[in-house]
Structure 1
Amino acid sequence: MSTSPSATSARTPSGEPSSPVPTVDGTSRPPSLPAGAREEAGLYAWVPPQGWQRVAQSGSEVHYTSPDSAQEIVANATPAKGDLLAQWQQAEGDTSKGLDYRRIRLEPTTFRGESAVAWEYTVMARGRLWHVRLLGFRSGGTSYEISTWYHPDIEAAALRVYDEVRQSFTPL
Structure 2
Amino acid sequence: MIESHAAILTFCEYPGFILVGQKPRIADFVLHKDGKDEFVVLNTAALGAIDESACEILDPLPLTVVTAEALKPHRQWIDNWLRMLPYVTSNERFLADALLDRIEHHLASPTPLYAIERDALPHDPILTRSAVFELTRRGRLASPDLRTDALCTHTRFVQATTSEVTP
- The structure where helix makes up a greater share of residues is 2
Q: TM-score, normalised by structure 2?
A: 0.24
Between Structure 1 and Structure 2, whose CA radius of gyration is higher?
Answer: 1
- The structure where strand makes up a greater share of residues is 1
Q: TM-score, normalised by structure 1?
A: 0.23
